[in-house]
């Protein structure tokens, strides 16, 4: 009876270790598919010329859904009759700042489904590849980030630094 319990325990340990390794490899795979060579900061909220261009890009391509003041749709967390989630806010009340720069860039350029590898995810947000250049996407996202309170920008920067360290360490 003891041998059976010990064998089962060893199997569980091996399974847990395998799951942890698979999770780490999946994270590396996702990060390696993001544009650029590192998962660190792309956005430049402190660069006035970039933020100014981003303001123009945001006004033309984003504000009609996400709001001129980045406020998003009032019921952004509730699916509509067709099953779509309305546009979320990009201010500090939303979840934009919960995502690293590279993911925000990919979502904007490639669309949510492709960026997040969710084949069946339905959204009304278009992919902007072929509409905006990479620099214009970075400018629009930099404008958004420049509107966040300092404490939120600092948390977002820390997340980007943490991801960059993890990628550099080969996790």
For position 133, which CATH number holds? Answer: 1.10.760.10
Please state the domain count of the chain.
Answer: 2
pLDDT digits (tens, 9 = 90+) for 10-48: 655 655 555 444 444 343 344 434 444 334 579 999 999
What pLDDT score does 2 carry? 54
Task: State the residue range of the domain holding 23.
Answer: 1-33
Q: Are residues 19 and 68 in the same domain?
A: no
Q: What's the chain's Rg over C-alpha atoms?
A: 20
DSSP category for residue 80: -
Q: Are residues 2 and 81 in the same domain?
A: no
Q: Are residues 21 and 65 in the same domain?
A: no
Farthest CA pair distance, the chain = 72
Q: Are residues 17 and 44 in the same domain?
A: no
pLDDT digits (tens, 9 = 90+) for 84-124: 999 999 999 999 999 999 999 999 999 999 998 988 888 99
Q: Are residues 137 and 56 in the same domain?
A: yes
Predicted TM-score (pTM) of the model is 0.74
Tokens found for residue 22: 């698979």
């Amino acid at each position: 009876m003891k041998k059976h319990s010990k064998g089962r325990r060893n199997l569980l340990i091996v399974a847990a270790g395998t799951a942890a390794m698979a999770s780490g490899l999946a994270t590396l795979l996702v990060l390696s598919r993001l544009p650029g060579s590192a998962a660190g900061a792309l956005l430049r909220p402190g660069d006035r010329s970039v933020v100014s261009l981003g303001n123009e890009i945001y006004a033309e391509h984003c504000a009609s859904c996400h709001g001129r003041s980045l406020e998003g749709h009032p019921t952004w967390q509730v699916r509509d009759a067709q099953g779509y989630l309305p546009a979320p806010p990009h201010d500090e009340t939303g979840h934009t700042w919960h995502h690293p720069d590279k993911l925000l860039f990919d979502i904007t350029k490639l669309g949510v489904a492709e960026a997040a590898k969710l084949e069946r995810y339905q959204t009304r947000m278009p992919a902007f590849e072929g509409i905006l250049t990479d620099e214009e996407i970075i400018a629009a996202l930099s404008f958004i980030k420049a509107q966040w309170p300092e404490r939120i920008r600092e948390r977002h920067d820390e997340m980007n630094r943490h991801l960059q360290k993890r990628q550099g360490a080969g996790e």
